[in-house]
Amino acid sequence: MFLFLDRATGAETIVAFLDKNYSVQSMRARHTIRRSSHVLLADVFFLLKKEKKTLKDIRGVIVIYGEGKFTALRTAVILANTLAWTLRIPLSGVVTDEHRPKTQKTLREFIHMHARRARRCPLHRGFFLPQYGKEPNITYQTRMQ
* pLDDT by 10s per residue, the chain, length 145: 999 988 877 677 889 999 888 888 888 888 776 656 678 888 999 999 999 999 999 988 888 877 777 777 888 888 988 998 899 888 888 877 666 666 667 788 888 887 877 766 655 456 666 666 666 666 666 666 5
Q: Which residues pair with 27 in a beta bridge?
A: 16
Residue 105 in 3-state DSSP? Answer: helix
pLDDT at 58: 92
Q: Torsion angle, CA of 94/92/28/36, rounded to 10 degrees?
A: -80
CATH code matching the domain that covers 2-120, chosen among 3.30.70.60, 3.10.129.10, 3.30.420.40, 2.30.110.10: 3.30.420.40
What is the value of pTM for the model shown?
0.79
**H or E element at residue 81:** helix 70-87
Q: What CA–CA distance (Å, rounded) separates 91 from 83?
A: 9
Half-sphere exposure of 97 (CA within 13 A, CB side): 5
